[in-house]
Amino acid sequence: MKFKLHSDFKATNDQEQAIEKLAKGVMDDKKYQVLLGVTGSGKTFTMANVIQKLQRPTLIISHNKTLAGQLYQELRDFFPENAVSYFVSYYDYYQPEAYIPSTDTYIEKDSDINELIDKLRLAATTNLLTRTDTIVVASVSCIYNIGSPREYGHFVFEFAEGMKIQREQIFDRLIDLQYERSEFGFHRGTFRVRGDTTDIYPAYQDEAIRIELQEDKIKNVRIINPVNGEDIVKDEIIKNYVLYPAKHFITDPSKNRDTFEQIRKDMEERVKFFKDHGKLLEANRIGQKVNYDLEMIREFGYVKGIENYSRYFDGRKPGEAPYSLLDYFNEPYKNDWLLIVDESHMSFPQVRGMYNGDKSRKETLIDYGFRLPAAIDNRPLKFDEFMRRIPNFVATSATPAEWELNMAKENGQVVEQLLRPTGIPDPEVEIRPTTHQVADVIEEIKKQVAKKQRTLVTTLTKRTAEDLSAYLSEQGLKVHYLHSDVKTLDRGDILDDLRRGNYDVLVGINLLREGLDLPEVSLVAILDADKEGFLRSDVTLVQTMGRAARHVEGRVIMYGDHITGSMRNALSEVERRRAYQLAYNKEHNITPRSIQKPIRERLIEEEEETKVEKLFGQKESTFMKLPHIDIDGLTPMDKKRLIKNLRKEMMLAAQDLNFELAAEIRDKIKEI
C-alpha cells in the first residue's frame, strides 16, 4: 500500500519549497539535510508531505517521550490508512536494573510492563517486516538492543484453512512464540482453549484470532473481538494468517545446549575470579543468578532480563554491536528508507551520550556479581555504529546545532522554513530588571488570567520551580511545576490541564524549552535571563521564546539586569524571523490567527501506584462507606485521579440504590 496523506490543509508557498527541496535532496542522494523551521511553521506537516512524496518507510526519532507521543498522534491523523507505529523503551517509563554500592541497594528491573507499550513496540517491528507503508515514531531509546530481526521474523506461526494440525501442536507452537495459556484474564500475549477452538490474542494488535479445528484439520480462521468473542466482520473467514512472537527476544531450543555451555563456562570463570579476590558474596550471587536464569530459559524459553544473555543467543562476539530498531529497517529495506531526527540539536547529543551512561550502570552490576561480563553487550549503539546504520537523515529544528549544519553543508543542504501558515510572527520581547521580578510576573499572570490565556515561567533550578509554584498558589493562582522529577506519565496530564484551563501557569526549567504544542500560551516569562549558561544559552532562549509563537498575542518577558551575549544573539535571531514574517504578511495581506488544536487522549496510561490507587485499587467491591481521605496531603494530580475514581464510586452507589453514600461522595467531590 502507498502512503496517502489526509489533511484539510494545503501546503503554503514556504512549505512547498521545503517539501520539494528535501524530497529532491533524498532522491539525489544528498545524505544529510537540515530543515531549519521556526516554531509553529508546520514542520510535521512538511515532513508528512515529504514521506508521501518519497513513498519510503520512515523512522522519526525524538529526544523526548512527550514529543514522540505528540508526533505519533499527529502522523496517525495524517496517514490513517497506513501503518503508523510508536516505539519507546521500557526505560523511558520504568527504572532499569541497577545497583548502588554506597547504600548496598539493588534495584530490580521493573517487571510491571505496561501492556500498551509492549503492544506498540511489537506492532512497530511486525509492521516493518510485513508492510512497506510503515512510519515508526520512536524515542532515542530505539538504539537499544532488542534482538535480531532475522530471528524474530523466523519464529512465526503460519496457519491456514484446511491445514492438518493437532491441538497439542498448536499449543507447542504458541508456547515457542512466548504466548501464555490463560483460561482466565484473556489479554495480549495469551491464548485460551475451548474444546476444538483456540483463541489467540496477538501481542501487537487489538484483535484476537480464533482457530477452529475439525478432525485434526483447521476448519476456519476468524478475527474476533477479544472482549465478547464475536467476529469483527460477520462471516469473514481468513484463508491464512501469520502470527509473530509475543516478545522480541526469542531463543531457538535447538541451539540452547551449546549456548548454555558457553554461559556456564563464563559463569564458572567469573565465580573463580571473585573467589580468587576474596569476594565470596559476589561469587555466590552470580552463580545463583545465572543457574536460575538458565533453568527458567530451559523450562519456559524466557526469563526476566534475558536480553543480558543476548550476545550468546545472537552469536555475537564480545564488543560487537547489538541489534536495534535500525536493523528492522535495514533488514527488509537496505538503504531504501528515510530517517527524520526531530529537534536534532537535542536528539543527536542524546544518541551520543547513551552508550557511556548505560556502560557505567552495567559495569557496576558486573563488578558486584549481579550480571556476567557479557551483559555489557546488551547496550545501546555507539554514535559511530548509529551513523553506519542509517542511510541518510533529515534533521529538523528551529535551532539546529553546528554538527548537523556542518554535515548538511558538506554532504547535503540546509532548507529554511521561516513562515508560519497562521501568519503569527515571532513574539515581541521585553527586557525588565530582576528586581522584584517575582512580584512583576505575578501581576502579568493575573492580566493573562483575566484574558483566559496561559503563562509559562522558566526558572533555573528544581527547587526554585517548586518554591515559586507554592508561592504563586498562595497568591490564588492555579499553578503546577514541571521538571525532570515529575513522572513521565504525569507530564502529559499536566500539559493537557494547562491547555484546558485547570492551571493558569506552568513553572518549569528545561522541559518547557522545545516542541511542546501549547497554543493557549500567550506569555513566556524567563526569570534570571542574564545568568549565562546552558539554561540561558542563545539556543535555549530562542526555543523557550518560541513557546509563545502559537498565539496571536504571544509575547516574552526576559528578566535581566544586563544583556548577555546569548541574549543578544537570541534577540537578533527572533527579530530577524519576526521581521521576515511581518513583511510577508504585509505583502500578501495576511491577518495572523491563533492555532486551534484538539486535546487528544493520553497515549500511555500510568500503571504506577499512587495515593489514590491505594484507596481504590485493592478492594473487590464498591465502598460500603466513604473512607477518610486526607485532601491536604494530595498533589493536584492526585486530586484529579481521586475525583475520577470518586465519580465511578458515586455511580456504582447510585446503581446499588445507596443514595446516601452517593450523596456523600458527591459532596466530597465538591469539597475537593
The pLDDT tens digits for 618-638 are 444 455 566 666 666 565 666
Cell for 514? 522545545
* pLDDT at position 607: 40
Query: Residue 370 belongs to what H/E stretch?
Result: none
* pLDDT at position 618: 43
* pLDDT at position 192: 93
The pLDDT tens digits for 103-152 are 888 887 654 456 677 888 899 999 999 999 999 999 998 999 988 898 88
* pLDDT at position 647: 80
Among 128-142, 243-257, 259-273, 531-545, name the one with the lowest average pLDDT. 243-257
Whether residue 26 contacts residue 54, with contact meaning beta carbons closer than 8 Å, is answered with yes
Average pLDDT in the 89-106 region? 78
* pLDDT at position 608: 39
The pLDDT tens digits for 498-520 are 988 999 999 998 755 555 678 89
- Among 336, 343, 286, which Cα is nearest to 29's? 336
CA distance 452 to 441: 16
The pLDDT tens digits for 563-584 are 999 999 999 999 999 999 999 9
Cell for 61? 526519532
Is the pLDDT at 364 greater than 70? The verdict is yes
Distances (CA, A) of 84 to 73, 120, 137, 188, 261: 9, 10, 8, 20, 42
223 CB-contact burial (10 Å; exposed 0-12 / middle 13-18 / buried 19+): middle
- Residue 282 CB partners (closer than 8 Å, separation 6+): 274, 368, 369
How many CB atoms are closer than 10 A to CB 467? Answer: 15
Angle between the 43-54 and 13-27 helix axes, to the nearest 10 degrees?
A: 40
- Residue 23 CB partners (closer than 8 Å, separation 6+): 50, 53, 54
* pLDDT at position 150: 86
Q: How confident is the model at residue 612 (pLDDT cuts 50, 70, 90)?
A: very low
* pLDDT at position 639: 73
Average pLDDT in the 642-655 region? 74
Average pLDDT in the 203-215 region? 92
Q: How confident is the model at residue 93 (pLDDT cuts 50, 70, 90)?
A: low
Mean pLDDT of the chain: 87
Average pLDDT in the 528-541 region? 91
> What amino acid occupies position 571?
L
Is the pLDDT at 350 greater than 50? The verdict is yes
Residue recorded with cell 504525569: 490
CA distance 256 to 251: 7
* pLDDT at position 609: 40
Whether residue 22 contacts residue 48, with contact meaning beta carbons closer than 8 Å, is answered with no
Average pLDDT in the 371-397 region? 96
Whether residue 389 contacts residue 514, with contact meaning beta carbons closer than 8 Å, is answered with no
Residue recorded with cell 483463541: 199
Average pLDDT in the 346-351 region? 93
The pLDDT tens digits for 389-440 are 999 999 999 889 999 999 999 999 999 999 998 899 999 999 999 999 999 9
* pLDDT at position 611: 45
- Residue 659 CB partners (closer than 8 Å, separation 6+): 653
- Among 263, 312, 270, 254, which Cα is nearest to 292's? 263
